[in-house]
Amino acid sequence: MIISERVKNINPSQTLAITAQALKMKREGKKVISFAAGEPDFDTPENIREEAISAIKEGFSHYTASSGIIELKEAIVKKLRKDNKIEYKTSEIIVSTGAKQCLFNTILTICNPGDEVLLPIPCWVSYTEQIKFAQAVPVFIPTYYQEAFRLNAIQVEEKITPRTKLIILNSPNNPTGAVYDVEELKKIAELLLKYNIYCICDEIYEKLIYDEAKHLSIASLGEEVKDKIITINGVSKSYAMTGWRIGYAAGPEEIISGMSKIQGHSTSNPNSIAQKASVEALIGKQDTIEEMRKAFDERRKYMVERLNKMKGISCLSPSGAFYAFPDVIKILEKGIEYNGKKIKNSFDLSDFILKEAKVALIPGSAFEAEGYLRLSYATSMEDIKEGLYRIENILK
């Protein structure tokens, strides 16, 4: 077989695969509504687009420093100081092709084959596969619906072994929308020091929080713990810039230069024009974030209320990000028959909903959590209403 064991061992990204399938159905003329993709439906703000146009006109079209332009690193340093109360030097920052590449480079830089990586679940699809790609071992820490999917430090400590190298925290969380409790995060920070464990804090949804939820960057808890943390963020979600592919990581210089080596031999610099635009995103006016957040908040409330009115579904009100993650176990227990087969898991159910109701969503199993579905509400209110109407009808 020509395919390497490493690649054979990883699964394709289901979020991307189902989004692509919905697009294909749309191209074939089917009236599909997509709750699949985790991306804002808004356009990138005008001031950011203008900056990119200027960069093109000025001929900013050459390779840049592989780890990103200094201007953008300085903007990131300022942003992390102002928003997150963390002090970094530009040598502790790397800019990559999306937060996804930052995560990939961090895991490859820190983990040796056989190292254990703690991963609270439900978790975003790419963490598990990136860990496996690095030949490290994902060790899942379940979080529960009954506890609003919040992580607690006791659960974390129980899973620590002499092989534990890293923990990945994602708050606000994709797919559950959970925002971790500040006190628990402080306790987890103590565990990092006690057991000498590194921590990736994926903060890509930090600006999208609702109600009373508060975001805390663990790296702001002091110099000692900061040495254990790689803070990851990007412009995709906060500035509706998913297609521009700019993410960044901040952490100890040794780790950042390791990541830089990988980047220098794989992709080189992230897109030069997008880097210029991202400077404007981070230092320019910030009011569009609040406009988007308010729209998401309204859609969130509507979606959660409608889902909870459907028989067999219960859904928590997410505190952050832009996903509803309803429990559909009662529907699966009913054992609905479809095409002569029983619908027995979230994959079958999402496939049934896509084929029969033409609504794309992601099965919980993609996030290591059977018995749930993920619906993105980063789409128009009109589509949300129509999509939920179709789901309700088909489940009747």
Query: Footprint of ligand GLU on this chain (CB under 6 A)?
Result: 13, 15-16, 37-39, 124-126, 174
Question: CA torsion sign, 316 to 317 to 321 to 324?
Answer: positive
Of 15 and 97, which CB lies nearer to ligand GLU in the complex structure? 15
Of 122 and 258, which CB lies nearer to ligand GLU in the complex structure? 122
State the Cα–Cα distance between residues 318 and 210, nearest whole angstrom.
Answer: 8
Of 124 and 296, which CB lies nearer to ligand PMP in the complex structure? 124
Q: Count H helices, E strands: the chain?
A: 15, 14
Of 256 and 375, which CB lies nearer to ligand GLU in the complex structure? 375
- Nearest approach, Cβ of residue 374 and ligand PMP (Å): 11
Q: How many CA atoms lie within 13 A of 149 on its CB side?
A: 28
Return the axis-axis angle of helices 98-110 and 253-265, rounded to nearest 10°.
110
Residue 379 corresponds to which tokens in the numbers above? 């789409």
Of 262 and 313, which CB lies nearer to ligand PMP in the complex structure? 262
Task: Select from ligand PMP, ligand GLU, none the partner in contact with residue 37, using the beta carbon and a kind-dependent cut-off of 5 to 8 Å.
Answer: ligand GLU
**246, 275 in Cβ contact below 8 A?**
yes
State the Cα–Cα distance between residues 178 and 225, nearest whole angstrom.
Answer: 23
- Nearest approach, Cβ of residue 99 and ligand GLU (Å): 9
Question: CA torsion sign, 386 to 392 to 395 to 396?
Answer: negative
**Which position's Cβ is nearest ligand GLU?**
38
**Residue count of the chain:** 396
Which residues form the interface with ligand PMP (CB under 6 A)? 38, 98-100, 124, 170, 174, 202, 204, 234, 236, 242, 247
State the Cα–Cα distance between residues 312 and 287, nearest whole angstrom.
Answer: 39
Quick one: DSSP state of residue 343? Answer: -
Concatenating the DSSP letter of every residue in 297-331 gives HHHHHHHHHHHHHSTT-B----SBTTEE--B-HHH
Task: Select from ligand PMP, ligand GLU, none the partner in contact with residue 322, using the beta carbon and a kind-dependent cut-off of 5 to 8 Å.
Answer: none
Task: Select from ligand GLU, ligand PMP, none the partner in contact with residue 68, using the beta carbon and a kind-dependent cut-off of 5 to 8 Å.
Answer: none
State the Cα–Cα distance between residues 340 and 233, nearest whole angstrom.
Answer: 45
- Nearest approach, Cβ of residue 255 and ligand PMP (Å): 18
Task: Select from ligand PMP, ligand GLU, none the partner in contact with residue 170, using the beta carbon and a kind-dependent cut-off of 5 to 8 Å.
Answer: ligand PMP
Of 99 and 277, which CB lies nearer to ligand PMP in the complex structure? 99
Of 207 and 226, which CB lies nearer to ligand GLU in the complex structure? 207
Task: Select from ligand GLU, ligand PMP, none the partner in contact with residue 234, using the beta carbon and a kind-dependent cut-off of 5 to 8 Å.
Answer: ligand PMP
Task: Select from ligand PMP, ligand GLU, none the partner in contact with residue 171, using the beta carbon and a kind-dependent cut-off of 5 to 8 Å.
Answer: none
- Nearest approach, Cβ of residue 196 and ligand GLU (Å): 30
- Nearest approach, Cβ of residue 25 and ligand PMP (Å): 22
- Nearest approach, Cβ of residue 13 and ligand GLU (Å): 5
Beta carbons within 10 angstroms of residue 65's beta carbon: 15
Q: Residue 361's closest CA among 395, 325, 389, 312?
A: 325
Task: Select from ligand PMP, ligand GLU, none the partner in contact with residue 125, using the beta carbon and a kind-dependent cut-off of 5 to 8 Å.
Answer: ligand GLU
**238, 293 in Cβ contact below 8 A?**
no
